Structure 1
Amino acid sequence: MSTKMVTKPANEVYRLPPKLFDARCKSCWVTFAILVLIVSSFYSLNLEIASFMSADSMRAMGSFVLELLRPNFEHDFLLKVFKSSFETLAMSALGTILAAIFGLAWAIPASKAYPTDPARWRKLARGVLNGLRAVPELVWAMLLLIALGLGPFAGTVALAFHTTGVLGRLFAECIENSPDEAAYALRVRGASGFIVFWYATFPQVLPQLVSYTLYRWENNIRAAAILGVVGAGGLGQMLAYYMALFQMSETSTILLAMIILVAAVDALSYFSRKRFSR
């Protein structure tokens, strides 16, 4: 039985492992800058972790949790919660529908349908969409409450404004990244831009548009519940009212209604997206 000797090639170069930090390494400097930013953030926020973990804080938090564990299930109060839940659901649904319509209307000029498309209004349309989505829903609601007054109408319009910017940008990306074969076949035959979009591009991107719209509806359910805190109606308005009065039993019932509503919409959205993806 013979054994073979394995020899290393003469031209093989043995390299040392890289240094942990190298002055010429850009990623090292970026990582260092991020670490400095994180440490300075902790220092500037002045987090009082010791007082948060103190015995008095734990006792107060425990008492608060015990009060929340006794929700109010009285018939009259449950009717109020059900009405506010429907109001929150209607705000989110109508706001999302309006945003999908206007988002698609802005996405068409904000997208470049094919490589030689001049897309003259692309920058302007994208600027409008960026402006709409840069302002949070809560800020839109506070601005619109001045013009439209208290109630769900201002919340619905606030959701529509912000979500139009989000969906418009997503829709524009879908249109730009859609396959161009069918649209090209119609363009070379002299079809108009509307015909090309309606019969070639739109059917291909429709499943993605629906998926994005349903996903934003999920987010708008949560946003609609928050908008009520500033007087835009729905469960959020009830939550702000009863929390201000320190009525924790009623607050607990409202929180349970929010959880059930969000879970139901999430489940409906999930099954809808699964069906459209087939």
Structure 2
Amino acid sequence: MAVVVIILVVLGVSARETEFSLTTLFQAGNAEAVTRFVRGLWPPETNVKFLRTIFGLMVETIEISLVGTALAVLVAFPLSLLAVRQRGEEFSRERLGTARWVLRWSLYYLARAFLNLFRGIPELVWALIFVTAVGLGPLPGVLALAVHSTGILGKLYAEMFESVDQRLVEMVRSTGATEMQVLFFARLPLSLPVFLSYTLFRWECNMRAATVLGFVGAGGIGTQLMISMKLFRYNEVMTLILAILILIALVDILGQFLRTRVLDAPGKCLR
């Protein structure tokens, strides 16, 4: 009961501090602005030239998310191996020696620090940094998604490897296998379905994020959305919103298809 009261008090204070009020939205001036905006959305812009432009931007958005996710996987995987907390007698100071023990834990905390830094800064901020560094276009969008996703995937991969059944890991290790062999013959095969699921889900998230990065000039369909909003061309905004919804729906369908096909493959092989 005390926990519920505390939560309600915190919510009440937060609502007051953020000036939360549903009635504000329906005040005379605000309601008129919303009505004017909604009316301007219809009918959507169907000019052939504009639709071609949107199609090109949709393709660019997909490409940004794909390349950004692929780069993130390539960097996150080795970082995740360093960020795995090793357990057991084999990793004690007495067994490794002071120098190797210090090196192992230094690399562990360094990898964790990098992963925390990468995911702690939002994609939009990374996009602003890379737009300043390399200029406008899809490249800063790719780099922003890659860096942020590296932090997220690296943490997920590390926790995934740590959660593998240690009895199986020790069984492989008892045969005299090196840590690299333990990784490829125990940790990775046991974690493969989860590994693929995390990666596919992150790609879906990057697709959604890529539609927003254009607001800061990092390419994709968000760039045109920002331009149309600034020019008060709300019918173009409606067309762009519909295009984004279609794009996200297609990505969701593709993600479900890949999960059912790819993630079932290891089970079929085992059977």
TM-score under structure 2 length normalisation: 0.87
| Aligned positions, number | 251
CA distance in 2, matches of 1:56, 1:49: 14
Counting aligned pairs with the same residue, the percent is: 38
Match of 2:208 in 1: 222
Q: Which residue of the partner structure matches residue 12 of structure 1?
A: none
Distance 2:83 2:6 in 1: 36
Instruction: Considering fraction of residues, name the structure with more helix.
Output: 2
Q: Specify the alignment match of 1:277 in structure 2.
A: 263
Instruction: State the distance in 2 between where 1:52 and 1:237 align.
Output: 28
Which residue identity does 2:9 align to in structure 1? Answer: V
Alpha-carbon deviations, 1:134-155, whole Å to 9, x = none? 1110111111111111111001
Structure 1 residue aligned with 2:233 = 247
In 1: Cα distance, 2:23 partner to 2:240 partner: 32
Report which of the two structures shows the higher radius of gyration computed on alpha carbons.
1
Of 110-119 and 72-81, more deviation after overlay is shown by: 110-119
* 1:44 alignment counterpart: 17
Instruction: For residues 174-214 of structure 1, give each alpha carbon's deviation from its aligned partner in whole angstroms, at most 9, with x where no partner exists.
Output: 10111234432332222221122112211111111110011
Contact 1:183/1:201 (<8 A) preserved: yes
AA of the residue aligned to 1:246: F
RMSD: 1.8
Instruction: Give the Cα–Cα distance (whole angstroms) in 1 for the partners of residues 171 and 27 of structure 2.
Output: 71
Per the alignment, residue 112 of structure 2 pairs with: 126
Equivalent position of 1:24 in the other structure? none
The answer to which of 118-127 and 158-167 deviates more is 118-127
Structure 1's 117 and 139: CA in aligned 2 closer, same or farther, altered over 3 A?
Answer: farther
Tell me which moved more, 124-133 or 51-60. 51-60
1:169 maps to 2:155: yes
Please show how residues 166-245 of structure 1 align to structure 2 within 5 Å: 166-245=152-231
Corresponding residue to 1:95 among 68, 79, 95? 68
Deviates more, 1:174-183 or 1:162-171: 174-183
What are the equivalent positions in structure 2 for 1:108-127 lying under 5 Å apart?
A: 108-116=81-89, 118=91, 120=105, 121-127=107-113
Determine if contact 1:239/1:254 at 8 Å carries over to the other structure: yes
For residue 84 of structure 1, report the CA deviation from its aligned partner: 0.6
Alignment check: 8 A CA contact 2:119 2:150 kept: yes
Matched, 1:77 2:50: yes
| Alpha-carbon distance between aligned partners in 1 of 2:215 and 2:190, rounded to the nearest angstrom | 40
Residue in 2 that maps onto 1:260? 246
Q: CA separation of 1:176/1:135 partners in 2, compared to 1, >3 Å: closer, same or farther?
A: same
Query: Alpha-carbon deviation of 1:57?
Result: 2.8
Greater shift after overlay, 114-123 or 98-107?
Answer: 114-123
CA distance in 1, matches of 2:116, 2:158: 12
Name 1:19's counterpart in structure 2: none
> Take 2:69 and 2:89, find their aligned partners in 1: how far apart are those partners?
33
The 1:127–1:116 alpha-carbon spacing in structure 2 relative to 1, beyond 3 Å, is farther
CA contact (8 A) 1:95 1:160 kept: yes
Runs of at least 5 residues in structure 1 that lack an aligned partner in the other structure:
1-26
Amino acid at match of 1:98: L
TM-score, with length taken from structure 1: 0.84
* 2:39 is the alignment partner of 1:66: yes
